[in-house]
Amino acid sequence: MRLLAASLTALAALALPGTAMAQSTTATAGPFPVTGNVPGLCSGGTLSNANSSFALGVLIDTATGLRRTDLAAPPKILTGAFCTVRSNISISATALQSVNNIAAPGAGFSRTVHYTASASGWTTTPATFATGSASNPGSSQERSTAFQGDISVGIGSFSTGGGEGLRLVADTAYQGIVTVTLAVAN
Amino acid sequence: MRAPILFAILAAGLPAAASAQSNTNVRTLSVDANVPRACAIGAPQLAAGAQINFRGLNGTTLQIDRMVDPTTLATNAASVDVTFEAICNLPHRIRLETQNNGLWQTSEVTPARVEGFGFAIPYRARLDWADDSLQLNADAQVRRITDSSLFVNQSRMGDIRLRLEIDAGASNNRANAPILAGFYGDTLRITLEPQQ
C-alpha cells in the first residue's frame, strides 16, 4: 500500500506541471457571428364577415329591361393585411355574365355587365381594374414600405356590354370574379 | 476550431433560403346578380298616316269615325295601325285576344234581332312582332272570347304592330246589310308571356 500511494503521488506530480504550462498563454475562440433574417412576408388579411360575394341582386329595371342605374354593393374589407417589405397590390376582375344563358344574345340584347373593381387603403392610389377596358395600367400599385392595414375592395361604374341601349337577357345567375393579389415586390 | 466553421456554413445558408421565398397572397371575391324574366309593353302609339275612317287614339281607345254609311246603313271600311314598344328578355309567347270576337253592341241587354239587319261587325286583326306575325279573324258569328298566339324562341325588343281592318259592308248578317243602331265595341288584349 505504501508503494501504491507513492506511485499515485508521483503521477499527480507529473500532471500538475502540465496544467501550469497551459495557463501561461491566452487562447481565444471566435468571434462567433450570430445572424438571422426576416423574409419578405405578405398576408392578404381576413375577409370581414367571411362573405366573399358582392350581391347585386336584380340587374334590370323590370319595366324596361334596361340595366338599373342604381346598382351598388357595399365594399368588402380585408382586415389585418400586412407586408414586411416593399409590396405590390394588384387587382383583376371578370365582367358579370349570364351563367346559364350562354347563347349569343339576340339583336338589342346583351349578357354582359362591365364594372370597375378597386382595392384601396394599401396604396395612395387605389389599384383599379375596369372589365370593359382593353388595358388597365392602374391595376397594380406598389407600396415602398412595410405596412399593416385594411384593404377595401369595391365595385362600381357599371355599364352594359355592347351599349347602354341593350337589354339584358334573363338568367337566374350572373357572375363575375374579382381577384386581389398582395405580393412581395421584387 | 470546428464550431466557428459550422456557424459560418449556417449563416451562409439562411439568406439563400430567404431570397428564394416568394410570398404572394390572393383573395378571390365573386360578384353575383340576376336578371329576372321580364316582358313589358309600352303605351300604344298611332302609326303615322296609317288610319282610315278612325278618329285616332284616345288613351287606349280607338274610335271609328263613321261606322256606317248614312244612306245605306252598311258598314264603312276602316283600318288603323297601332304600335307598342315591347321587350321580352327570354323566349316568350305573344297572344292576341278579343273579348267579343267582333264589334258587338256594348249595352248589357242584347237588342232584339231584326230580320235583315246586322247587329255585329266582323273585323280582322294582325300582329307583327319583328319577323313573326299572327292573324285573328273576329268573325262576329258568336260573341265570345277568341285568341291567337305564337311562340317566339328568343328574347326580343322593338315595336309590336297591330293592324285592324273592317271591310266595307261587313256584318254578321249578309254583306252590306244595314246595321242596327247602337254603340258597338270590342276589347283587344295583347299579352307577352315568358316561356322558360
CA distance A34 to A63: 74
Contacts of A37 (CB under 8 A, 6+ apart): B14, B15, B18
Q: Do A174 and B37 touch (CB under 8 A)?
A: no
pLDDT at B195 over 90: no
ipTM of the complex: 0.80
Whether the Cβ atoms of residue A144 and residue A124 lie closer than 8 Å to each other: no
Cell numbers for B94: 305573344
- pLDDT of res. B10: 34
CB nearest B26 (choices: A29, A64, A181): A181
Query: What is the domain range of residue B44?
Result: 31-194
Distances (CA, A) of A6 to A10, A14, A112, B70: 6, 13, 107, 166
Read out DSSP for B128-156?
Answer: EETTEEEEEEE--SS-S-EEEEEEE-S-E
Neighbour count for residue B115 (Cβ, 10 Å): 5
Does a structural domain hold residue A164?
A: yes
Cell numbers for B73: 246603313
- pLDDT of res. A24: 58
- pLDDT of res. B56: 86
The whole-model pTM stands at 0.74
Query: What is the domain range of residue A113?
Result: 42-184
CB nearest B25 (choices: A44, A115, A176): A44
pLDDT, block means (10 residues), chain A with 186 residues? 42 45 70 86 85 94 92 94 93 97 92 97 96 95 94 96 95 96 90
CA distance B196 to B194: 6
For chain B, give the percent of residues with pLDDT over 90.
Answer: 71
Q: How far is the alpha carbon of A59 from chain B, nearest alpha carbon, in Å? A: 5
Dump pLDDT digits (tens) for B16-56.
334 334 478 999 999 999 999 999 999 999 987 778 999 98
Does a structural domain hold residue B187?
A: yes
CA distance A141 to A125: 7
CA distance A130 to A126: 13
Q: Cell 470546428: give the residue.
A: B2
- pLDDT of res. A10: 41
Q: Do A42 and B24 touch (CB under 8 A)?
A: yes
User: Which of A49, A109, A160 is the best residue to mutate to test the B interface, defined by the most B CB atoms within 10 Å of its own CB?
Assistant: A109
- pLDDT of res. B1: 33
Number of domains in chain B: 1
| B107: region left, alpha or beta (phi > 0 left; psi from -120 to 50 alpha) | beta
Q: Which residue has the higher pLDDT, B196 or A60?
A: A60
What stretch of H or E contains A19?
helix A2-22
Dump pLDDT digits (tens) for B127-162.
999 889 999 999 999 999 999 999 999 999 999 999
Dump pLDDT digits (tens) for B110-119.
667 788 999 9
**Average pLDDT score over residue span B169-188:** 93
Q: Please provide the average confidence, as pLDDT, over all residues in chain B.
A: 86
Does a structural domain hold residue A34?
A: no
Give B-chain residues touching A81 at CB under 8 angstroms: 25
Nearest CA to B123 among B161, B73, B82, B67? B67
Q: Do A60 and B35 touch (CB under 8 A)?
A: yes
Band (B83; pLDDT cuts 50, 70, 90): very high
For chain B, give the percent of residues with pLDDT over 70.
Answer: 87
Contacts of A79 (CB under 8 A, 6+ apart): A45, A46, A47, A48, A150
Residues of B with CB under 8 A from a CB of A: 1, 3-4, 7-8, 11, 14-15, 17-18, 21-38, 40, 87, 89-90, 154-158, 194, 196
Does a structural domain hold residue B11?
A: no
CB nearest B24 (choices: A64, A171, A183): A183
Number of domains in chain A: 1
